[in-house]
Amino acid sequence: MSRIAYFGPQGTFTEQAARRLAPGEELIPAETIPAALAAVRSGTADAACVPIENSVEGAVTATLDSLSEAEPLVAVAEALLPVHFSVLTRPGTTEIHTVASHPHALAQVRHWVEANLPGARPVATSSTAAAAVAVDAGEFDAAVTAPVAVEHYPLQVLATEVADVRDAKTRFLLVRAPGELPGPTGADRTSIVAAATNRTGALAELLTELAVRGINLTKLDARPTRNNFGEYRFFIDFEGHVAEPRIGDALAALRRRCRNVRFLGSHPRADNGTTEIEPGAANEDFTDAIGWVESVRKGAQA
Ligand SMILES: O=C(O)C(=O)Cc1ccccc1
């Protein structure tokens, strides 16, 4: 049985994602996202499940930062979960002065809280389930949680299906130490992080290497390197798998342009997205072109 660290404690959205991505495996809660990833780096866990992107709030920056630091890790699978919240209180609570949750959750229920709990003060906790723990301990009055949290903590449900934006989703990754990659499926996602030098056109150069090969971007985030003010790392997700000739060709070009590029994984997409291939950018076009150059070199051009 594999040990899967996840961003906990018990009852987080990430635990639900871990159950989907690693059914039947041993799940080990970690207090923070960096701690879940550190468990894989130290060998305490075989893999980690962490949130990466929310359809309303965007990137989960703790995950981006942790993936770009220390030993490399690669994402081998992803899950997309619908996100709506329950609001939990201690039994018998009559007045709600504080509402606790993960900042991404608070941002997604702001209007609901203003309308239904006017005057209540939002308080950030490390995760949605950590808010439930704090409410149970009497630190705050209400917690905004995943629907499953009520099964883990002795709290009562004040409201369910709470969300300012309908159909919000969060994407989660299953991350391992570098090793065998999942094979290409035809609908995959590849992720890299590149620390582009601070000069004119550096990011445009990287993106152009993808664009000229007809590779569609699915996400782009910038995070400060934390070393020099104004220096950024770019997290780039795009359609395709490193095993494909066209993606391999693009990664080689990115590596030529930027020595400081890290491969963060190729894995099947969970969003039913299809891979758009521009004319001349199919894998056969790349292998055919390489074959043609080889025949030219041998003096055997047809
Ligand atoms: O705190 C949690 O439950 C998480 O797994 C992170 C999160 C927070 C808000 C929306 C989706 C995921």
- The domain segmentation of the chain, as residue ranges, is 1-82+170-179, 84-162, 181-292
Assign domain 181-292 one CATH number from 3.40.50.970, 3.30.70.260, 3.90.78.10, 3.40.50.300. Answer: 3.30.70.260
Residue 128 pLDDT: 97
Residue 123 pLDDT: 98
Mutation probe of ligand 1 site: the residue of 4, 6, 10, 12 with most atoms within 8 A of C-beta: 12
Do domains 1-82+170-179 and 181-292 share one topology? The answer is: no
Contact 142, 150 (CB under 8 A): no
Residue 259 pLDDT: 82
**Closest listed residue to residue 51, CA positions, set 80, 74, 23:** 80
pLDDT along the chain (302 residues), means of 10: 96 97 97 97 98 94 95 98 96 96 96 96 97 98 97 97 94 97 96 88 93 94 88 95 96 92 97 82 90 90 68
DSSP-derived pairing of the beta strands 98-101 and 142-145: parallel
Contact 28, 5 (CB under 8 A): yes
Mutation probe of ligand 1 site: the residue of 170, 171, 172, 173 with most atoms within 8 A of C-beta: 170
Beta carbon of 6 within 6 Å of any ligand 1 atom: no
Residue 269 pLDDT: 96
User: DSSP letters along 61-92, please?
Assistant: HHHHHHHHSSS--EEEEEEEEE--EEEEE-TT
Fold assignment, 1-82+170-179 = D-Maltodextrin-Binding Protein; domain 2 (3.40.190)
Residue 228 pLDDT: 83
* CATH code given to domain 84-162: 3.40.190.10
Residue 302 pLDDT: 62
